[in-house]
Amino acid sequence: MTGYWANNWQIWISAFCVLSVYTYLFKDNTLYRVMMQIFIGINLGYQAIIQWRDVLYPQWYLPMIDGFRALFGGAGSPYGALWALVGGIGILFYLQLSRKYASLSKIAIGITIGIGAGLTFKSQLGRNIPQILDAFKPLAPPIVRPQPRTTLKLPGSAFEPLVDDSLAIFVSGNTIEADEVLGGVRVWQTKLPSAVTGPPRFVAEKIMVPCLTEVVQVDRSTGKINPITFTGELLGNREGDPLKVVAVYRQPQLGHGVELRAKGSELSAYAIKDGVAEGVHAGDFLWSATYPEPIVSVQSFDGIAMITGPKVSEIWEIPPPQPKLTARDYFDNWVSVVTIFCVMTYFFFSFKRRGPMIAAVSSSGRWVLMIGLGAFFGNTVMTRMSFLLDRLMFLIDDWLRPLWHQIFR
């Protein structure tokens, strides 16, 4: 029995506290008030220690002391001494205990309320704006489609850029340039002897660029033009003939579960197979987007695509295939819109009715509002009931069951 008490005395204290608080269910009594005062005192003492250890000491006292030391020739920033002003403002709170200087406490109260209101407004705005944006749901199938998002702009190119690991090689006019694909940082840029007339290609560690008069060899790491060892004749041109630029059909690029097809300045996306999203089948049209100029090439990577035009290239974040909405989804969206409209009408015209139509809509808004408040209240009650059940299970499983086994074992 001694071992039982040595191992379970904390549980007995917890059970006694719980039962003492539950005595209020019968009537107000001294035991309940004593336990509530003990709970409040313990909680305040705990919060005071936590505030000093985690907030005041590291974030106020230490910077202030370091600031005063710096003022008298020590190391650190003397601006830390300004924290003493913050402490002085905090002391103004206690002037509420003085009838003569109680009005000075309003300074600290006003500063605290202003800061709290600003932080609350900022946090509420940060939480509510995404909810408001998510509330704009489609009310009919063709209204809203996912769209790619431009994350980065890169130079344009007359031909499909060469991609080498994280670098992309762009050629335009008589310029060749290398940029980081994911960072948009220019690594190097080189002027060529004449205009580029064909797509460049990698040969070992060099880039071969066909120009009007010759084929230029460029170092892929530095962009330095090396001594020319090839001529246009070796690429199939007759001597003296410029390289002819011809249109080349490019296969649609595959990326992020979609097939991208470019036509003119329009880029369209189609599903590549069944099941990429709920209700989506192979070949289904997903979305289309217009590029600001004719598309030269499309190169896809993991979830992104590089769209190249003659003047500018862009990195697009490709949206994943979205599940097709069913009739129930549209019904839910309509219910949401009608509910918001009715409730707003009720609040705007709750004091003065302007005709039978507004009165009917306002009445519907009042009913919807009461239903919502009832659901919220029910959810609150269920939350409190879950706490009650948790304490009852504690009394049964952690207190009474071990005691029963100890007595009747």
What pLDDT does residue 245 have?
Answer: 36
**Do 259 and 225 share a structural domain?**
no
What pLDDT does residue 114 have?
Answer: 92
> Quick check: is 98 in a domain?
no
> Quick check: is 75 in a domain?
no
For residue 252, pLDDT over 80 is answered with no
For residue 249, pLDDT over 70 is answered with no
For residue 238, pLDDT over 50 is answered with no
**Do 284 and 228 share a structural domain?**
no
Among 13, 45, 69, the domain boundary falls at 69
Tell me what the mean pLDDT of segment 8-36 comes to. 90
Tell me what the mean pLDDT of segment 90-119 comes to. 90
> Quick check: is 145 in a domain?
no
Among 184, 205, 235, the domain boundary falls at 235
What pLDDT does residue 5 have?
Answer: 77
Give the whole-angstrom CA distance, residue 395 versus residue 390: 9
What pLDDT does residue 255 have?
Answer: 59
For residue 246, pLDDT over 90 is answered with no
pLDDT band for position 65 (50/70/90)?
very high
Domain that holds residue 172: 161-235
Q: Report the share of the chain in percent with pLDDT over 70.
A: 89
What pLDDT does residue 334 have?
Answer: 84
> Quick check: is 207 in a domain?
yes
Number of domains observed in the structure of the chain? 4
DSSP string, 42-111: HHHHHHHHHHIIIIIIIIIIHHHHHHHHHHTT-SS-GGGGGHHHHHHHHHGGGGGG-TTTGGGHHHHHHH
Token pair 């071992």 is at which residue?
3
Tell me what the mean pLDDT of segment 31-39 comes to. 92
Among 36, 54, 69, the domain boundary falls at 69
> Quick check: is 355 in a domain?
yes
Q: Among 99-108, 352-361, 389-398, name the one with the lowest average pLDDT.
A: 352-361
- CATH code where residue 187 lies: 2.40.10.480
- For 164-174, the pLDDT digits (tens) are 878 899 999 88
What pLDDT does residue 74 have?
Answer: 80
What pLDDT does residue 363 have?
Answer: 84
> Quick check: is 147 in a domain?
no
> Quick check: is 121 in a domain?
no
**Do 224 and 165 share a structural domain?**
yes
Token pair 């003085």 is at which residue?
98
**Do 22 and 63 share a structural domain?**
yes
**Mean pLDDT, rounded, of the chain:** 83
**Do 336 and 307 share a structural domain?**
no
For residue 243, pLDDT over 70 is answered with no
Tell me what the mean pLDDT of segment 149-161 comes to. 90
Rg (CA), the chain: 36
Model's pTM, two decimal places?
A: 0.50
> Quick check: is 212 in a domain?
yes
What pLDDT does residue 29 have?
Answer: 92
pLDDT band for position 73 (50/70/90)?
confident
> Are the CB atoms for 3 and 376 separated by under 8 Å?
no
- Burial state string for 252-278 with b = 16 or more CB within 10 A and e = fewer than 16: bbebbbbbbbbeeeebbbbbbeeebbe
Closest CA to 183 of 302, 315, 312, 318: 315
- For 283-317, the pLDDT digits (tens) are 888 888 999 999 998 888 777 889 999 999 999 98
pLDDT band for position 230 (50/70/90)?
very low
> Are the CB atoms for 269 and 288 separated by under 8 Å?
yes
Tell me what the mean pLDDT of segment 226-247 comes to. 44
**Do 291 and 263 share a structural domain?**
yes
Tell me what the mean pLDDT of segment 38-49 comes to. 93
**Do 358 and 301 share a structural domain?**
no
For residue 78, pLDDT over 80 is answered with yes
What pLDDT does residue 237 have?
Answer: 39
For residue 151, pLDDT over 70 is answered with yes
Tell me what the mean pLDDT of segment 279-286 comes to. 85
- For 178-224, the pLDDT digits (tens) are 998 888 889 999 999 888 888 888 887 888 888 888 888 898 888 88
Q: Which one is predicted more confidently, 354 or 179?
A: 179
Q: Which one is predicted more confidently, 3 or 241?
A: 3
Beta strands in 156-211 (DSSP E): 162-164, 167-172, 175-180, 186-191, 201-203, 206-210
**Do 344 and 282 share a structural domain?**
no
Listed in sequence order, the DSSP H helices in 277-400 are 327-348, 356-393
